[in-house]
Amino acid sequence: MRRRLAIVVLVIWLAALTLASCQDTGTRPPPARALDSPSLLGSVNGSENYIHVFTDHGIYAYHCAYHTTEHHREPGVVLVQDGAADSAYVQIFQGAFHPETVTVRLNGQVRWRNFDDGVHHDIVSD
């Protein structure tokens, strides 16, 4: 039941993301800043990493602030739910998060690594 609810919420979130440019969000409270990485520089011989431990259940939508504009968005999602893996790994490559969605358990960690040579990326909460 909980997994179905998470999937439904994710589908609704993705639909809302598509319409986000048409909505006025000025009256909503600002989102929680669960994710706020430093700038990660990619290089062939030592790409930078960011690791975050998730201490609350939920759906954590994020993006790269460097590569989000009015016409383009570099998105990702972390689902935190019971019965999921202890950790997940996300590669940043060719201007995208791979995989775009990962699932971890409560107190699980996600590691992002930037492989875009000479290009900065970051992980910022929506």
Kindly state the tokens that stand for 39. 């700038």
Tell me if residue 47 falls in helix, strand or coil: coil
Residue percentage of the chain with pLDDT more than 90? 39
Residue 98: is its pLDDT beyond 50?
yes
Kindly state the tokens that stand for 50. 């960011």
* Exposed/middle/buried for residue 100 (C-beta within 10 Å: 0-12, 13-18, 19+): exposed
Instruction: Sketch the domain layout of the chain as residue ranges.
Output: 34-125
Residue 81: is its pLDDT beyond 80?
yes
User: Considering only 12-16, 36-40, 92-96, 112-116, which range has the smallest mean pLDDT?
Assistant: 12-16
Tell me if residue 67 falls in helix, strand or coil: helix
CB 30 within 8 A of CB 125: no
> Pseudo-torsion of CA 20, 65, 102, 40, nearest 10°?
180
Residue 41: is its pLDDT beyond 90?
no
Name the pTM for this structure.
0.70
Q: Which band of pLDDT confidence, cut at 50, 70 and 90, is reported for residue 10? A: very low
Residue 62: is its pLDDT beyond 70?
yes
